[in-house]
A and B are shown apart, each in its own frame.
Chain A
């Protein structure tokens, strides 16, 4: 026990001698500013101008270097639509560290002097040497934003059982999304769209326009007008969202961390509604090959025995693969693939249309036992069961030597 005591004594003594001051990053001159949303307190990713690069950058928090030769400063937050300022003060002291390191500026007592933001507070009054949050800036929540994400359903089936059900985000090109109280509330390509609901009514109907097709969706909800956050004044909040009529394949509520449906409009937004596209069960995946390697071909047109219009509505394509829709109302389909050199491959397929559906909301049947109607030398069926996966699984190979 006595030896252990002496040992401990020497260890502490020796360790204390080794602890020389660290000359790296002497000054604690970094202040972290984090943006949050009032109410939930969740982080808010904001688009601000980086004055060092003169570019706008997204971020939930930013780090600033303080000038330790003065004891006041101003942060300017320039977004694309507005500029805000926050002035602050701090105390600077100096400590001589060592003859090797010199002295360090020690900053403390960070405090907000004035600002024109919704709300701001100091959460750590001591600036740091390597980052962290010192000031939190809160903005009033947006109360009218409905968030919808778009997904593609997938599954695997052998014609008897269905496995590997899943979905992935799928971006759509929206030529225009109109609300019943305001036209063109969104344009562009996105997998998630944020749409305003009508705070003057208890329901909003949307029309999603893509190409020549339109999808519709209606939601109703409860409106509550009150002052929840003093800096924000009186606001109207949307809760108890109800999904009305829609023309999509499937729509369901998004869920939160507790797996509860997100029926209140929240800020920062999480998906209130999830739109699902059913898998197209009749697509035969064709791959073009040459010398056992993928070969890109230019296809002028694709027609079939059950449709005469060219499948390639946007003109010729150059690709190593193509997806051909077989006729689900029959057990055989024949396709005519015309290449840019004028040659034509005829792909005659037979298959079995089962009564099995991949999802309750998806009525199209599973197709199995794909095979050639008659054996053609340069055409091989390599996967007889259609798989509804991403990336697609090749069913037929066409040799184009």
Chain B
């Protein structure tokens, strides 16, 4: 937990420092340039962290596809993913399996960048459908016996909200990379019979009111029309 948190913070710091430096060196946009809301391309990608964790972490399986399309500085963002998780403890086991999707808007704050790199803030609405199983081995102090309890829920629905922030950086031709930090809150799930979800696919753990998520993504950007050229005034020397 600590190690992964430190890695996240280090990555965030490195990339954010680059963005701020880039913004300081950027050029000015011609004030006569026309604003166009016609999309110029679709970016489709995947979350590398989920794929990595699936490879190296036995109790986690997950994947996530991310896509966005631009409308001037606004991006319609769609995420779709799936995952399963298993937790084991001395007193029982929990596992879930399901899919999720998110939809929302990102707003780009790097309008002056000639490569269309973006630093964005946004919001998402997410929904998940999953099944879950729980086995509990617990002491009954009233009868002084140990009891084994097993529960299962199918087709549990949950929804939540997210505030997002992150970067998209053009690496080479159509290849982009970026990250998305997600502040997740307002989780609601339909009334389950016996199990309170320990984790909701796409949201994360449910032992507190809010949760942080992080994606490190690689994208392919498919242009659908030529980007309108930025009219740039050269810097005064």
Residues of chain A whose beta carbon lies under 8 Å from any beta carbon of chain B: 2, 6, 9-10, 12-14, 16-17, 19-21, 65, 67, 69, 92-103, 105-106
Contact = CB atoms under 8 A, between A and B. Distances in A.
Interface string B176-209: 0000010100000000101111100000001110
Contacts of B198: 95-97, 103
A6 B1 CA distance: 22
B145 to A, nearest CB: 9
17 contacts: A13-B9, A14-B9, A17-B1, A21-B208, A65-B141, A67-B142, A69-B140, A94-B151, A94-B196, A95-B196, A95-B197, A96-B92, A96-B93, A97-B207, A98-B89, A102-B90, A103-B92
Interface string B160-177: 000001000000000000
A103 B92 CA distance: 7
Contact of A96 (B1, B5, B8, B134): B134
B142 A69 contact: yes
Nearest to B183: A12
Given A12-B183, A16-B212, A69 B147 contact: yes
B109 to A, nearest CB: 11
A17 B141 CA distance: 35
Contact of B91 (A9, A16, A21, A102): A102
A254 to B, nearest CB: 47
Pick from A92, A95, A97, A103 the residue with the most CB of B within 10 Å: A103
Contact of A101 (B89, B143, B165): B89
B72 interface: no
Nearest to A97: B207
A13 B149 contact: no
Contacts of A6: 16
Contacts of A92: 194
B181 A13 contact: yes
B5 A93 contact: no
B192 A93 contact: yes
B142 A96 contact: no
A20 B1 contact: yes
Given A16-B210, A69-B142, A98-B207, A106 B1 contact: no
A98 to B, nearest CB: 7
B211 interface: yes
A100 B88 CA distance: 9
Contact of B87 (A9, A20, A98): A98
B94 interface: yes
Nearest to A66: B142
Interface string B205-224: 01110111000000000000
A99 B194 CA distance: 19
A126 to B, nearest CB: 13
Contacts of A14: 5, 9
Interface in B121-157: 134, 136, 138, 140-143, 147, 149, 151
A364 to B, nearest CB: 66
Given A96-B134, A105-B138, 4 more contacts: A6-B16, A20-B1, A92-B194, A98-B87
Contacts of B20: 2
A69 B142 CA distance: 9
A249 B51 CA distance: 92
Q: Which 6 A-B pairs have the closest CB atoms?
A: A96-B94, A102-B91, A96-B198, A95-B196, A17-B5, A102-B89
Contacts of B138: 69, 103, 105
A103 B134 contact: yes
A75 to B, nearest CB: 14
B140 A21 contact: no
B87 A94 contact: no
B234 to A, nearest CB: 26
B9 A103 contact: no
A99 B5 CA distance: 18
Nearest to A2: B20
A95 B90 CA distance: 15
Contacts of B165: 9
Nearest to A18: B5
A22 to B, nearest CB: 9
A94 B210 contact: no
Nearest to B195: A94
Interface in B24-58: none
Contact of B194 (A2, A69, A94, A96): A94
A94 B136 contact: yes
B184 to A, nearest CB: 10
